[in-house]
Structure 1
Amino acid sequence: MILVTGATGFVGRALLPRLAEAGLELRCLVRPSRRSPRLPRGIPVQVSIASLADARGLRAALVGVDTLIHLAGAEWHGRRGDVFAVDAAGTRALVEAAREAGVGRIVYLSHLGADRASAYPVLKAKGIAEEFIRQSGLTYTIVRSTLLYGAEDVFLNVVAALVKLGPGLFLMPGDGRISLQPLWVEDLVTCLEWSLSDLTSLNQTIALGGPEFITFGQMVQTVMEVLGVRRLVIPVRPPFLRAGAWLMEQILPRSPLTTRWLDYLAVNRTCELTSVTQYFGLKPARFVNTVDYLRDKKWFMEMTRLIWGM
């Protein structure tokens, strides 16, 4: 039995069908909510309702589980404190419950640059979570990904929405020269699936990234070309954008444009270009070849989805 946390999120919704197709027995940990969980349709899964702060609920969800895939996080929605409550404290509670339940292995999705000493909240929280896992005594695989993108992501969809809906211009954080290495979510979930049977990944921390380095400016230009629009790109000093993002967070608790979104553009986020091929023998897709889905989106509706988590 495999328990997946974060199953209703961006990566979880892409991973579940893969695991189901492989014939694996699945259980999803879903946080309590008034709304029905957004699980992929037609996928045979068990559902356990509990938050990462609910020790009793975690113990019940882990009964009979031999592998735990931990995807849950609060990096995109919620206030800054939620990141540490979910990603750090939540992971600690989950790991303790998994150890008590006799879980054999945990696969954890982290971020490139995760570090307990990081100045960036998400990377700091992920670094703390990683250390809880390493010290837990559980067999683990920690996958550190570069920037992920796909039809239901937040980062790239926010970029595309700002490009499409903007009044003829796009406010570029800084000079747009920050180097990124975008990894398509379908390639990531292939790696996660294959890692379950890969003994060489046991007790390892693996960095995975896409097949090319591109600047954020190049990413924006590609998005404009895909959407068929032209925008005047205006460089803006990051502190001014951070002030605006902070204000948005106060007005809209689930604002997709947050200071954490801007953190992605604060430093270069790259690893070995051959990382996916080296670890899993897979040739990952190029960014320009996998973003056609942006053309078909209704962007006012998309922004509503991003803001309200629909």
Structure 2
Amino acid sequence: MSHLTRGVVGRGGRSSVSGITATVFGATGFLGRYVVNRLGKMGSRVIVPFRGDEQGYRHLKLMGDLGQIVPVKYDPLDPASIRNVLSRSNLVISLVGASRNAIHSSLNDANVRLPEEIAIQAKQSGNVQRLVHVSALGASYDAESLFLRLKKKGEDAVRGSFDGATVIRPAAMYGVEDEFLNSMAAAPKILGGFTPVWTQGHHLLQPVWVGDVAQGIIHASVEDSAAGKVYEAAGLEALSRIALMKRVFNWIGRPTDKIVPIPDTVVDAAAALFSIKYLPRRYAPVTTEEIEYMRSNVVASKDALSLRDLGVAQAPIEEIAHQFLAMTYKRGGVFFDPELQK
């Protein structure tokens, strides 16, 4: 165990004191709520940097005892502001990143510049003992995807600025609030049964439950042996996008014969249109950068450290995704048996 937890007081749980004061950048995002919950559950004080208003963080305040979840407004463009939100922490977890450009920030800003600045300020603070940086599975300078190349550049920038930084590379994450499997399950109803598949859907991916990734991050934060290492957080099974979509449809009782791969020429034209700088990309169905990513096989390396090395026991995707998707999208709910209608 780490010296971070040497000041433990109590029997464990939200009303205990873990000895950890953690600043979690990106805490208001999908993965962030799971990380904050696990930190709060073990009695940690969690600093939550935010940019908007209380709507972005108020759900997080329930995850710790009174006063343990501390929202602090900050400016990601101001090094002094970044330094302020981590000035009292002994642990920094960086979840920041983006898969598409925005009007006021680029992929490089979100995936390289900001993570590097966080690492620099953590190092200069003198009190941050551990830094965990979340990247992406498949990050490499040789990747065809710009997103994955920038993720690798961000990793190197962080590790070069903070000695002993731990890197977690998660695969595509699923969970109750995701925009991944939920978008697949919702498509037939929205599009009248027709479900398009970008990039033919034959490239491999290895989906991982967001809760397992969060638990891996916590273990990497408190285990001294994890310092300076890179872990690939992938699911137990690699499968193509089309195979995954068919499995989702089987779980929710939808026919699979209306899954239609979109020709590459149409995909490229649509992505180029939605990638025009001044269009509202937040609502774009797909961008050029995301198409590049979807055309990559994003699976774990055979010799890489994994969630198992962090002590995380993973469950198959069926045990988690089937439940929350069927509850929301299956006619009659998760326990409905179509045989009863006959």
Equivalents in 1 of 2:72, 2:301: separation in Å?
38
CA drift at 1:131: 0.9
State whether residues 74 and 81 of structure 2, in contact with CA within 8 Å, keep that contact through their aligned partners in structure 1: yes
Q: Which amino acid aligns with 1:208?
A: A
Q: Which of 9, 24, 27 is residue 29 of structure 2 equivalent to?
A: 9
Gaps of 5+ in 1: 300-310
Stretch deviating more after TM superposition (242-251 or 208-217): 242-251
Equivalent residues in 2 for 1:1-310, closer than 5 Å: 1-31=21-51, 33-34=52-53, 36-38=55-57, 39-43=59-63, 44-75=68-99, 78=102, 82-102=106-126, 103-116=128-141, 118-231=143-256, 232-250=258-276, 251-255=279-283, 257-259=285-287, 260-272=289-301, 276=306, 278-291=308-321, 292-297=323-328
Equivalents in 2 of 1:41, 1:115: separation in Å?
36
CA drift at 1:80: 9.9
CA drift at 1:238: 3.2
SS in 1 for 2:261: strand
State whether residues 276 and 284 of structure 1, in contact with CA within 8 Å, keep that contact through their aligned partners in structure 2: no
CA drift at 1:146: 1.5
CA drift at 1:62: 1.5
State whether residues 110 and 144 of structure 1, in contact with CA within 8 Å, keep that contact through their aligned partners in structure 2: yes
SS in 2 for 1:106: strand
Residues 171 and 115 of structure 1, relative CA distance in 2, 3 Å threshold: same
State whether residues 207 and 234 of structure 2, in contact with CA within 8 Å, keep that contact through their aligned partners in structure 1: yes
Equivalents in 2 of 1:51, 1:279: separation in Å?
36
SS in 2 for 1:113: coil
> Over alpha carbons, which structure has the higher Rg?
2
The TM-score normalised by the length of structure 1 is: 0.87
State whether residues 53 and 93 of structure 1, in contact with CA within 8 Å, keep that contact through their aligned partners in structure 2: no
SS in 1 for 2:244: helix
State whether residues 104 and 139 of structure 1, in contact with CA within 8 Å, keep that contact through their aligned partners in structure 2: no
State whether residues 246 and 258 of structure 1, in contact with CA within 8 Å, keep that contact through their aligned partners in structure 2: no
SS in 2 for 1:229: coil
State whether residues 181 and 213 of structure 1, in contact with CA within 8 Å, keep that contact through their aligned partners in structure 2: yes
Q: Which amino acid aligns with 2:33?
A: R
How many residues are paired up?
298
The TM-score normalised by the length of structure 2 is: 0.79
State whether residues 111 and 150 of structure 2, in contact with CA within 8 Å, keep that contact through their aligned partners in structure 1: yes
CA drift at 1:54: 1.4
**CA RMSD for the aligned pairs?**
2.5
Q: Which amino acid aligns with 2:111?
A: D
CA drift at 1:221: 0.6
State whether residues 209 and 270 of structure 1, in contact with CA within 8 Å, keep that contact through their aligned partners in structure 2: yes
Gaps of 5+ in 2: 1-20, 331-342
Equivalents in 2 of 1:117, 1:213: separation in Å?
21
Residues 262 and 182 of structure 1, relative CA distance in 2, 3 Å threshold: same
CA drift at 1:129: 1.1
Q: 1:25-78, CA deviations, whole angstroms, 9 ceiling, x for partnerless residues?
A: 1111112x2563234241231112113211121111121211110001122673
Equivalents in 1 of 2:119, 2:162: separation in Å?
10
CA drift at 1:18: 0.8
Residues 91 and 160 of structure 1, relative CA distance in 2, 3 Å threshold: same
Q: 1:257-282, CA deviations, whole angstroms, 9 ceiling, x for partnerless residues?
A: 22244344211111157954641233
SS in 1 for 2:133: strand
